[in-house]
Amino acid sequence: MTIEEKLKILTDGAKYDAACTSSGVARIASEGGMGSTSMGGICHAFSGDGRCISLLKILLSNACCYDCAYCVNRVSNDVPRATFTAEEIASLTMNMYRRYYIEGLFLSSGVLGTPDNTTQQMIKALELLRVKYKFCGYIHAKAIPGTSPDLLERLGRLADRVSSNIELPSSASLRLLAPEKERRDVLAPMSYICMRHEDGGVRQGFVRAGQSTQMIIGATPESDLKIIRLTEGLYGRYKLKRVFYSAYIPVADNSLLPALDSKPPLLREHRLYQADWLMRFYHFKADEILDESHPYFNEFLDPKCNWAVNHPEFFPVDVNRASYETLLRVPGVGVKSARRIMVARKQRRLDIFQLAKLGVVVKRAKYFVEGGMGGKLNAADHPERVVRELIRGENARQLSLFDDKDAGSAPLLGGKEDIRAIARTGK
């Protein structure tokens, strides 16, 4: 088999993994070595689906002995199989890295007989890269569930980031669709890495950029509330750097899964990322974003706007006095613009025109700040009109996110009642 054919097969098997970040650690090339990493990570290109390409994302092998129903590489699937040698992986990585196509390597794999055997093969390839080729760029390695701790330790010293995929948002779904995978096998690498970090693992060069995970959205019946609570738990308990969500693309005709012609739930995935951001950077709790009586996201408003229109008592906010945390709650104000407001207001009083200069999206913020629209159109007094305007803006933004129009555009808006109903669908 030629290297071209192998690359095609083993890229095809890896593409459903959403994690492509190269962030979390900064270093420059060591003596005689090649490669550096940057704290914020680097996107080198964007593929035809608009997703970023940062790392050479490949499988070591797709000859998997497991039979997970949702996975394209399952043993019962009739697809061509291939396995890279360590030398092939190292040489591909080095040559693409030197041409600056990629920021490093993302290495995952199907299970080759046993988890330990698979991890050993991965370690061999990474050792070749790090030792023989003196590669100092970014490496993201997948922890295969069931790998023994001593192999995980070796893998973690070669890689900057390690991830173990939780795959599905509940153990019941995992049991149903991935009979060979146990929830505790998935969580074991996570706890090990978390434990090592608590006793100084980062300083010893162990998984310096932290760990991440991913789950498939829309293959199983969990609610959005359940998913964001799980996410909150993962960030809290295992100190994960990122949780990724991957809209399920039908890859199998199985009565337990959505039909083959069903569309990936892209809007839902998008809303989950927005909620994820709110929890990581905006001091939101999962239960503030959704609750038992509204367990699904509002289709028409992003979670932050949705929270704002449902909490009129919180607004209008006085940007000249409000705390940083309060500023972060204002739609249209981001982390950077909130910081700029904190700095700039020490020098002079800020009005709505100056907010625009500080990077605030006035189109959204104006309904929620004092003096925003001369007191006329604000969220407290005219909730329907504000919701209508916000939805109009949201539709324009979504046009570029989802080429497919029916993925999530609001219906033609009718009277006040419709708008009230929409505002309530979330929370």
Partner 1 sequence: MKENYNMTYIYDGTLEGLFTCVFRCYEDKYIPGAVITGMTLTPCAHIFTDKVKAARVRRGIYSKMGAASANIIFKAFLSDFEDKELAIIRFIVYGMKAGERVNGDLAHPDVARIREIFRAVNREANLTAERMTFSIIGDVMVSIIEPSHNVLPLIVKHFTNRFPNEEIFIYDKIHKLGVTWAHNKVTYREIEHFEPDPADEEEETYRKLWKIFYDTIEIKERHNPRLRDQNMPIRHRRKF
> What is the binding site for partner 1 (CB under 8 A)?
3-4, 7-8, 11-12, 14-16, 28-29, 32, 34-36, 38, 42-53, 56-57, 92, 95-96, 98-101, 137, 247, 249, 263-264, 266, 340, 343-348, 350, 354, 357-358, 400-403
In the complex with partner 1, the residue whose CB is nearer, 47 or 148, is 47
CB of 197 to partner 1, least distance (A): 26
Instruction: Identify the helix (H) or strand (E) that includes residue 107.
Output: strand 104-108
Fill in the DSSP letter of residue 365.
H
In the complex with partner 1, the residue whose CB is nearer, 43 or 413, is 43
DSSP 355-408: HHHTT--HHHHTTTBTTSSTTSS-TTT-HHHHHHHHHHHHHHHHHHH-SSGGGS
CB of 34 to partner 1, least distance (A): 6
Q: Residue with structure tokens 């981001």?
A: 334
In a 10 Å sphere around its CB, with 0-12 CB exposed, 13-18 middle and 19+ buried, how is residue 44 labelled?
middle
In the complex with partner 1, the residue whose CB is nearer, 380 or 401, is 401
Q: For residues 98 and 119, what is the distance between their CA atoms, to the nearest angstrom?
A: 26
Which tokens sit at 93? 């990585």
In the complex with partner 1, the residue whose CB is nearer, 14 or 387, is 14
Q: What is the dihedral of CA 135, 141, 143, 144, to 10 degrees?
A: -100
- Phi and psi at 119, nearest 5°, equal -65, -40
CB of 192 to partner 1, least distance (A): 30
In the complex with partner 1, the residue whose CB is nearer, 376 or 397, is 397
CB of 316 to partner 1, least distance (A): 19
Q: Which residue type occupies 248?
A: Y
CB of 295 to partner 1, least distance (A): 26
Determine if the peptide bond prior to 316 is cis (ω within 30°). Answer: yes
Beta strands in 180-270 (DSSP E): 211-217, 242-247
Q: For residues 86 and 158, what is the distance between their CA atoms, to the nearest angstrom?
A: 14
CB of 260 to partner 1, least distance (A): 11
